[in-house]
Amino acid sequence: MSKIVVGCSSNTDATLKILQKRLRQELRFSKMRERRHYESPSEKSRRRSAEASKRRRKTRFGRAPVISAI
């Protein structure tokens, strides 16, 4: 659970940004989006496999190749 202490003279926009950032870090927004509607088991497995392939693609092409020179 995220807690943010708000002072009397604090900026509400900045406080809201901090709260949203913390919720994003805790993956709350994605969980809320997932639970908004019922997801059948086949849709769930399709989504999970798509997420896994996306992660694999990021790690494969996202990093520069390591070249060791001796």
Domain boundaries of the chain, sorted by first residue: 12-59
Q: Which two tokens stand for residue 7?
A: 């002072």
pLDDT at 41: 93
Q: Which two tokens stand for residue 18?
A: 């901090």
Q: What residue type is 55 in one-letter code? A: R
Is the Cβ–Cβ distance between 24 and 16 less than 8 Å? no
What's the predicted TM-score (pTM) here? 0.44
- Summarize pLDDT for 32-48 with one digit per residue, the tens: 777 888 889 999 999 99
